[in-house]
A and B are shown apart, each in its own frame.
Chain A
């Protein structure tokens, strides 16, 4: 496959809804009070419960699994750096671009960023995929 087909800008809006929050909590089993107890979150300086950071990794999974030009892909590795907290019902604008292509091993590295509805970067990182 000509890997240049991946070389475009990808954008999508994700919302951390109650359904998303509940599903992640159930699947992860993470009941840390920062995510579940508003009083606790406020005692740590946050206005309300902080959403699970790894929900955003789920959104990256959607990007790789559903937004690329082909389903013939597999994730090799990914990293994420959290810059600002995400709260319930935040609307996150996701964008990703190709950072590097290694034709010899059918591999593409994307860099991505999530911004909240205020335009603040909440997380950014890279995801490396292989074309299978």
Chain B
């Protein structure tokens, strides 16, 4: 799956988990750009992304992410 398709899927997950259909994310998006993206919703996002893509992250990977693009690259590499 190419990174643009992953981004589109992740955006849908963000909209669903964060209950905001207006959320637009891109490869440069960071947590501060999305009002609803806090520490608790971050957990729900990770769980939902793992389930959707049938993958597992580890805590080291999460620590290394600075942007949504980093997350997308990590998903693409699995």
B40: A residues at CB distance < 8 A:
76
With both beta carbons as reference points, the residue of chain B lying nearest to A100 in the complex is identified as B51
Q: Specify the main secondary structure of chain B where it touches its partner.
A: helix
Determine whether the beta carbon of B44 is less than 8 Å from that of A76: yes
- Interface mask (A92-110 → B, CB under 8 Å = 1, otherwise 0): 0000000010111101010
Determine whether the beta carbon of B46 is less than 8 Å from that of A105: yes
Determine whether the beta carbon of A104 is less than 8 Å from that of B46: yes
Determine whether the beta carbon of B47 is less than 8 Å from that of A109: yes
| A-B pairs under 8 A by CB, number | 36
A128 contacts the other chain (Cβ, under 8 Å)?
yes
Determine whether the beta carbon of A102 is less than 8 Å from that of B44: no
- Interface size range on B against A: 10 to 19
- Interface size range on A against B: 10 to 19
Residue in A100, A103, A107 whose CB lies within 8 Å of B43? A107
Task: Contacts A100-B51, A102-B50 given; indicate if A76 touches B59 (C-beta within 8 A).
Answer: no
Residue in A77, A100, A104, A130 whose CB lies within 8 Å of B58? A104
A positions within 8 Å CB-CB of B? 76-77, 100, 102-105, 107, 109, 128, 130
B positions within 8 Å CB-CB of A? 40, 42-44, 46-47, 50-51, 56-59, 61-62
